[in-house]
Amino acid sequence: EDKVVQSPLSLVVHEGDTVTLNCSYEVTNFRSLLWYKQEKKAPTFLFMLTSSGIEKKSGRLSSILDKKELFSILNITATQTGDSAIYLCASTGTASKLTFGTGTRLQVTL
């Protein structure tokens, strides 16, 4: 059975801090790893990673995949209160259905 594990489960930081969120996976015939941000409603897509060592970047957010060690990290620099959300990691194998981790709840305080 496919499995995705995220850590930490929750995190409280001050505005301006840098945070690193972790995601490890065990997926049959791994295809891709995805990061989503979930605020009050539906998850919104952040990144899709398919190749090891290639950093994806969007503003203050970046992510990288290590297919040898089966993990990914999501970095957020200079955090803002608007970054407060649940960050979900998910993975796909040969089927396009996503297997999600439990999420990391990030709270950014002033």
Partner 1 sequence: NAGVTQTPKFQVLKTGQSMTLQCAQDMNHNSMYWYRQDPGMGLRLIYYSASEGTTDKGEVPNGYNVSRLNKREFSLRLESAAPSQTSVYFCASTKGTPGAGEYYGYTFGSGTRLTVV
Torsion of CA 67, 71, 74, 75, to 10 degrees: -90
Only segment of 18-26, 40-48, 57-65, 72-80 that touches partner 1 (CB under 8 A): 40-48
7 contributes a contact to partner 1 by CB under 8 A: no
Only segment of 12-20, 37-45, 56-64, 74-82 that touches partner 1 (CB under 8 A): 37-45
95 contributes a contact to partner 1 by CB under 8 A: yes
Q: Considering the complex, what minimum distance in angstroms separates the CB of residue 104 from partner 1?
A: 10
SS in 3 state form for 33-51?
A: EEEEEECCCCCEEEEEECC
Q: Which of 24, 63, 72, 92 binds partner 1 (CB under 8 A)?
A: 92
100 contributes a contact to partner 1 by CB under 8 A: yes
CA distance 10 to 50: 26
Which residue is it, tokens 């981790």? Answer: 101
